[in-house]
């Protein structure tokens, strides 16, 4: 007998992972890590789960593992799609927490499977009426809210000016533009305050495609992002800054993988942009913001903000966990306390499941706010308009909700006047 006898797998994919739905669903070993916070991160019994879908719907079919099983059965022909099964597949926020926990132990991309299962539902002709409605709206109005495109930028303050020649474009995103305009206002005021010249797409700005992508409408998502990239390319900008992490990952990850049109610009989330400005000394905080607050890591700005390779030391871009905290910690008077589930293991706000399952989203947001309140914080700060929107609906005034841009604005001196070029008045 030789010293060592080596038997390697005959299927090379065990040695070097490559995604396919069948591969991932059969590789699932039912370890259950997808349902629970990583053991070393658990700080209490109360806040130790990680899957909003399982927490609300309870049956394992609503966990990542359960959906891998469903995927296995569907792909093997042992299960047929029905309206109710499709509903249960959509009862998930796609926050990716399960994906993170799974990747801690396995070379797998279960989140991709979850999205692909939705894609399969759409291809098979199963559409939830609520999804059909917002997809129709995207197709017709370029946003999921059924709002006219000319109203997209009516939030723009009269005293904020665009600069034609600016190389920076502000991409507000649909939620910011139509539902959480205060975030957009705060953002542009900050940029103007520090002398940043920027412009906007205006009513030519379409939905980034992320909501469509997440509900399985891949082609529509592609159409949207390609439109935006083309439009932005034509404006000759070098940098796009967005308030919305969903838009950010749509441009930086989804587009890179799916869009035929390649972007000629960099894209940053506003938090990253502020960080840069602070490093350059352009942003300083002069005013006290007396507040005890906790920071909620948005999924798209956190664990989903970076494409993954097996063996990656980190899940998500660690800068995106540290940067918001670094910024907030610099604000005088602001006392930042941490929740138990943060960073790459943050608990979702409910995200985009609200199209069809508003109760589920509400319960999820309420649970997250309970966690925020348990820290003794008076406020929860986030850097995502969807998170802010969900929290606002859930809080009922029990805890203050802020976007970080609002906090930054509070900490800065009054807006300085600077040279006028033009004021955007919409189309």
Partner 1 sequence: MSKNSDLLENRLKKYAEELSSLSIPAEPVESYEGYDQEKHETIKRGLISILGEKYVSDDPWVTQAYSRDYSTIFNQMRPEFVVLPGSVEDVQAVVRLANRLKFAVIPVGTSLSATCKAKGPNTVILDLAKRMNRILLLDAKNMYAVVEPGVTYAQLHAEAIKVGLTHHGAPSSGSQSKVIANVIGMAAVNAKGYRYGIGPDNILGLEVVLPNGDILWIGSAAMPENRYFWGEGPGPDLRGLITGKGSYGSMGIVTKMAYKLHPWPGPSTWPAEGCLPHIKTKLPHDLHRCYMFKFPSYRRLVDALYEIGRCEVGYAIHSITPHQAAGWYCRSNKQFFQLYFGEKYFHKWAPLLLVHIVALTSRKQLEYEEKVLKQVVKEYGGEEIPRDDIVNDFIETTAVEWGYADVHGCRTMRYTGTYAPIMGTMGPLDLIYDVGRKDSWQLQVRDRYHPPLVDVVPYDAIIWPMEFCHWANQEQSVFPEKAPEKFKVAMDVRSHIMRESIKRNDPNAVQGMFISEVTQNLIIRIKNAFDPSQISNPPIPMDFFREYSKFKKELEDRN
Task: Confirm or reject binding of residue 120 to partner 1 (CB under 8 A).
Answer: yes
DSSP assignment of 121-164: HHHTT---HHHHHHHHHHHHHSSTT---GGGTTTTS-TT--B-T
Q: Among 136, 150, 256, 312, which residue sits at the site for partner 1 (rule: CB under 8 A)? A: 312
* Interacting span for partner 1 (CB under 8 A) from 13-21, 172-180, 252-260, 323-331: 13-21
| Helix 110-123 × helix 97-105 angle, to 10° | 130
Q: Nearest-5° angle of CA 178, CA 393, CA 149?
A: 10
Residue closer to partner 1 by CB (options 180, 296) is 296
203 within 8 A of 152, measured Cβ to Cβ: yes
User: At closest approach, how far in Å is the CB of 71 from partner 1?
Assistant: 9
Q: Among 24, 51, 94, 101, which residue sits at the site for partner 1 (rule: CB under 8 A)? A: 101
Q: Among 51, 72, 237, 407, which residue sits at the site for partner 1 (rule: CB under 8 A)? A: 72
Residue closer to partner 1 by CB (options 131, 263) is 131
Rounded Cα–Cα distance for residues 63 and 291 (Å): 37
Residue closer to partner 1 by CB (options 21, 232) is 21
Binding to partner 1 (CB under 8 A): which residues in 282-311?
A: 310-311
Task: Confirm or reject binding of residue 66 to partner 1 (CB under 8 A).
Answer: yes
Task: Confirm or reject binding of residue 326 to partner 1 (CB under 8 A).
Answer: no
* Torsion angles phi and psi, residue 164, rounded to 5: -55, -40
User: At closest approach, how far in Å is the CB of 81 from partner 1?
Assistant: 9
Alpha-carbon dihedral sign for residues 247, 253, 258, 260: positive
* Interacting span for partner 1 (CB under 8 A) from 57-65, 149-157, 203-211, 282-290: 57-65
Binding to partner 1 (CB under 8 A): which residues in 16-45?
A: 16-17, 20-23, 25-33, 35-45
Binding to partner 1 (CB under 8 A): which residues in 249-278?
A: none
> Ramachandran region of residue 205, left (φ > 0), alpha (ψ -120 to 50) or beta?
beta
Task: Confirm or reject binding of residue 426 to partner 1 (CB under 8 A).
Answer: no
Which element (helix H / strand E) includes 27? Answer: helix 21-27
272 within 8 A of 356, measured Cβ to Cβ: no
């Amino acid at each position: 007998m030789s010293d060592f006898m080596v038997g390697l797998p005959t299927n090379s994919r065990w040695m070097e992972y490559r995604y396919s739905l069948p591969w991932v669903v059969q590789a699932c070993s039912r370890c259950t890590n997808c349902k629970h916070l990583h053991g070393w991160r658990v700080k209490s019994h109360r806040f130790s789960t990680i899957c909003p879908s399982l927490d609300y719907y309870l049956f394992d079919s609503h966990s990542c593992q359960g959906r891998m099983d469903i995927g296995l059965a569907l792909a093997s022909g042992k299960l047929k799609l029905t309206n109710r099964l499709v509903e249960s597949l959509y009862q998930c926020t796609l926050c990716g927490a399960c994906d993170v926990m799974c990747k801690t132990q396995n070379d797998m991309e279960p989140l991709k499977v979850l999205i692909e299962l939705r894609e399969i539902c759409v291809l098979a002709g199963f559409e939830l009426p609520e999804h059909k409605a917002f997809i129709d709206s995207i197709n017709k109005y370029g946003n999921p809210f059924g709002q006219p495109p000319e109203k997209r930028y009516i939030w723009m303050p009269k005293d904020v000016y665009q600069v034609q020649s600016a190389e920076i474009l502000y991409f507000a995103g649909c939620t910011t533009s139509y539902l959480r305009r205060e975030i957009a206002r705060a953002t542009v005021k900050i940029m103007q305050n520090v002398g940043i010249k920027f412009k906007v797409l205006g009513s030519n700005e379409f939905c980034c495609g992320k909501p469509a992508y997440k509900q399985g409408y891949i082609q529509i998502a592609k159409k949207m992002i390609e439109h935006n990239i083309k439009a932005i390319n034509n404006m000759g900008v070098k940098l796009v800054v967005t308030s919305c992490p969903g838009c950010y990952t749509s441009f930086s990850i989804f587009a890179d993988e799916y869009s035929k049109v390649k972007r000629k610009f960099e894209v940053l989330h506003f938090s990253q942009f502020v960080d840069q400005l602070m490093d350059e000394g352009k942003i300083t905080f002069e005013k006290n913001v007396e507040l005890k607050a906790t920071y909620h890591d948005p999924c798209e700005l956190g664990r989903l903000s970076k494409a993954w390779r097996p063996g990656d030391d980190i899940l998500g871009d660690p800068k995106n966990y540290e940067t918001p905290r670094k910024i907030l910690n610099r604000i005088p008077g602001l006392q930042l306390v941490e929740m138990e589930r943060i960073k790459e293991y943050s608990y979702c706000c409910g995200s985009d499941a609200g199209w069809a399952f508003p109760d589920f989203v509400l319960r999820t947001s309420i649970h997250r706010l309970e966690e925020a309140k348990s820290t003794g914080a008076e406020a929860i700060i986030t850097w995502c308009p969807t998170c802010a929107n969900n929290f606002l609906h859930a809080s009922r005034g029990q805890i203050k909700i802020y976007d970080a841009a609002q906090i930054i604005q509070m900490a800065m001196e009054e807006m300085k006047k600077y040279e006028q070029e033009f004021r955007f008045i919409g189309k």
